[in-house]
Structure 1
Amino acid sequence: MAQFLLILLYSFVTVIIIQVIYYLLIFGKFSFAKFEEKEHLSIPISVIVCAKNEAENVKNYVPLLLSQNYPNFEIVLIDDASSDETLDVFEDFEKKYANIKLVKVKNNEAFWGNKKFALTLGIKAASHNNLLFIDADCYPDSDHWIAEMSSSFSEEKSIVLGYGAYEKVENSFLSKLIRFETLLTATQYFSWAKLGKAYMGVGRNLAYKRNEFFNANGFIEHMKIRSGDDDLLINQISNSKNTAINFNPESITFSKSKTSFGDWIMQKRRHISTAKYYKFFDKFQLALFFSSQLLFLLLTIILLSFQYQWIIVVALIAIRYIASTISLGYSAAKLYEKDVMYYYPILEIILIFTQLSLFFKNIFSKPVHWK
């Protein structure tokens, strides 16, 4: 037994080293980064919104896009064969505003319910090379959202990753859990982008140049995969030089959190299901991080249960939590999510075991995708 516990202790030390490297050296690329004030440009922008049965949301949020303080933009509204009043709402906007272009998508047997098909039609209809994406249930937090996101484009930077936050819901633990998961995910993909290894973006707040899309033949490599119109495309087209991040407060978008744990679980199952299609390195580093998180918890429980070298174990636990709290704390401050850190590490523990259960659920059943 003593020999077995010694092996577990050495394994625990290895896990702690991996975790500290992630939190301080890798995630630190974003956590400790400073805002870069950039000159707001006036390059032409096409804002693309794809909606399916989102009548109420587009009524409320399209006016916020129209009121953006930016001199040269159009809004491409895509109705993906909605069965509610979404198309009627879009047609009303099209009649009133000259800078709105409407794309009507009919159900296609080859691409039934595939958001990527609808987005492709919208991208082809866009007048400009610079594309800025936002989901139909999202809204910008500032009337300088377009100006801020477009400022990150350059001759070299053709992809811009933004932060898509969720609204705070008072006295809701689920809301805090969702926002903590969103914070952790953003810390990961922003950090790897800073390291020249961008692997994903979120369609709630994402920009790229249309020529990048066409050079990759659009979504053709993963058209049959129902999800991944954002992360799988970025995983495919990003490289060490062409991707920028923007976390300026005026670049943030918001959407409402899921109000039931079941709805959120279904949403996360869709997101997680695309990760297996990432490049090998991206799958490896994500799996290594999650495995080290899970092993940290399990080994902590085992070693403390046996009180084996407990002083060393407690010291290692403290080192890990100091590193993670500092790193995530700085990220939370940048992304205006500081309040969720008050519930760390409880949120982290729940999230780890939730993700583990989702992994096994996705093995035995497929999640439902686009509406």
Structure 2
Amino acid sequence: MNVISSLLFILFAVSVAIQLAYAFYFFLPALPSGDNEINDVPVVISEKEKVSVVICGKNEAHHLRNYLPLILAQRYSNASGKRMFEVIVVNDASTDDSAAVLAGFAQNNEHLKIVTILPEEPRKFPGKKFAIGKGVAAAANEWLLFTDADCQPVSKYWIEEMTVLFRTSGGKKQIAGGYGKYAQEPGLLNALIRWETMHSFLQAFSYAYRGMPYMAVGRNMAVEKKLFREAEEWDVWNKLPSGDDDLLVAKTATTDNMRLIMPKGSFTISEPKHYWQDWIRQKQRHLSTGKYYKPSVKRLLGIYALTHSWSWLFFIPLLFTHFYAAAICFMIARCLLYWTVWTAAAKQLGEKKLSIFFPLFDFGWMIYNFAFAPYIFWKNKQQWK
């Protein structure tokens, strides 16, 4: 029994040590110092930075009514006041009144372009990728900004914030990833959705900060068109109906050409799932692209998830051994560091009232990884809508 206890403690201590090292190397250096606030003054842009906002929707009439006006009313113009963006909405074989809603908006918005996909139209790519490709093909500009029909920008300068890296002298980027929040609502599921979204973004942000970009969210991502075309030629592209965001990053992102950003004016807000089964299906789809990350990234993410699980799995039985005092001290140090990091991230990302859930979600993330492991490592979720 003493041998087993000693082995458990060694594995536990190593796991906690790796968790601490991960936090100090990735999370802490990447956290903003407070200078990433919303930019309330639009930057004068040149003709070459015109932007095409691409939105794909299938039976999204309700969301288009509510959120499309916020996209169309963005403040993004040149020195003379000329509008410098267009909005392309791809109506993907909708059976609701999306077509009528879009036609109504088009009457008073000359910068709105509508692309309609008929139900019988042959598809080159599965699911959402076909719709996105149609939207990109219709784009008149070289700079693309993607979002979803159920998303709203938090600022009238959202386009400005999301594309500022495309015109930064000395360090111009080709891919920019922003934070895609979920609306805050009562209930445990909503808190979990917001925590998991914050946690995933913090991981991706810290990796990009260290020169290892691996993901972005398609509901808030800007990219140069030629990189999208490059990703579209990848043989993996037609294996999944969604995952265009992660696959594009996996194929085209480098240490130098991509950055994730945190200015509050760059956020979008989406409607969260309200039922556990709907959220589970959504996560199965999102996690299906993880197997296509670069091997080095997959190893690091795997080590992080594994040591997180081991920390909790070994901590509990160690409480019933003579190592209990040392185990408690190790776990307190680990939890204090991570909960402090998450508190700082939640404040920066505007995720209110999450701190009280940190102990529950910290432990629950172990269960999350076990439950979704088949989709992370093997399965593809072959469905968009």
TM range (shorter): over 0.9
* 1:91 to partner: Cα distance: 2.3
Mapping of residues 155-234 of structure 1, within 5 Å:
156-170=172-186, 172-218=187-233, 220-234=235-249
* 1:308 to partner: Cα distance: 2.8
Corresponding residue number in structure 1 for 2:81: none
* 1:32 to partner: Cα distance: 4.5
* 1:360 to partner: Cα distance: 4.1
Corresponding residue number in structure 1 for 2:28: 28
Mapping of residues 1-371 of structure 1, within 5 Å:
1-36=1-36, 40-42=43-45, 43-71=49-77, 72-107=84-119, 108-111=121-124, 114-154=127-167, 156-170=172-186, 172-218=187-233, 220-304=235-319, 306-360=320-374, 367=381, 369-371=383-385
Corresponding residue number in structure 1 for 2:80: none
* CA 1:367–1:224: 2 relative to 1, 3 Å: closer
What secondary structure is seen at the aligned counterpart in 1 of 2:148?
coil
The answer to whether the Cα contact below 8 Å between 1:79 and 1:104 also exists between their aligned partners in 2 is yes
Q: Deviations over 1:77-97 (max 9, x none)?
A: 111111211122222222321
The letter for the 2-side match of 1:19 is: Q
Q: Deviations over 1:112-168 (max 9, x none)?
A: 752111111111110111111111111101111111111122363011010000010
Distance 2:139 2:296 in 1: 34
Distance 2:267 2:123 in 1: 35
The answer to whether the Cα contact below 8 Å between 1:139 and 1:253 also exists between their aligned partners in 2 is yes
Distance 1:143 1:368 in 2: 35
Distance 1:336 1:362 in 2: 28
* 1:24 to partner: Cα distance: 2.3
What secondary structure is seen at the aligned counterpart in 2 of 1:152?
helix
Distance 1:95 1:14 in 2: 63
* CA 1:264–1:25: 2 relative to 1, 3 Å: same
Distance 1:297 1:173 in 2: 21
The letter for the 2-side match of 1:162 is: G
* 1:54 to partner: Cα distance: 0.7
What secondary structure is seen at the aligned counterpart in 2 of 1:345?
helix
What secondary structure is seen at the aligned counterpart in 1 of 2:116?
strand
Q: Deviations over 1:157-209 (max 9, x none)?
A: 01101000001003x11110100000100000011111111100001111011
The letter for the 1-side match of 2:75 is: N
What secondary structure is seen at the aligned counterpart in 2 of 1:169?
coil
What secondary structure is seen at the aligned counterpart in 1 of 2:87?
strand
- Bigger mean CA deviation after superposition, 104-113 or 150-159: 104-113
* CA 1:77–1:121: 2 relative to 1, 3 Å: same
- Bigger mean CA deviation after superposition, 68-77 or 19-28: 19-28
Distance 1:15 1:365 in 2: 28
Identity %, equivalent residues: 33
* 1:358 to partner: Cα distance: 2.2
Q: Deviations over 1:204-228 (max 9, x none)?
A: 1110111222244456532222221
Structure 1 consecutive aligned stretches of length 4 or more whose deviation exceeds 3 Å: 36-39, 107-113, 215-221, 360-368
Q: Deviations over 1:264-315 (max 9, x none)?
A: 11111111111112221122111111111111110011111x2331111111
* CA 1:173–1:216: 2 relative to 1, 3 Å: closer
Task: Give 5+ residue unaligned stretches, structure 2.
Answer: 78-83
The answer to whether the Cα contact below 8 Å between 2:91 and 2:116 also exists between their aligned partners in 1 is yes
Distance 1:341 1:25 in 2: 23
Q: Deviations over 1:25-80 (max 9, x none)?
A: 21123225443577734331111101011110011110011111111110011111
- TM-score with structure 1 setting the length: 0.94
* CA 1:112–1:213: 2 relative to 1, 3 Å: closer
Distance 2:285 2:322 in 1: 41
The letter for the 1-side match of 2:14 is: T
* 1:367 to partner: Cα distance: 3.6
The answer to whether the Cα contact below 8 Å between 1:40 and 1:150 also exists between their aligned partners in 2 is no
* CA 1:220–1:364: 2 relative to 1, 3 Å: closer
The letter for the 2-side match of 1:176 is: A
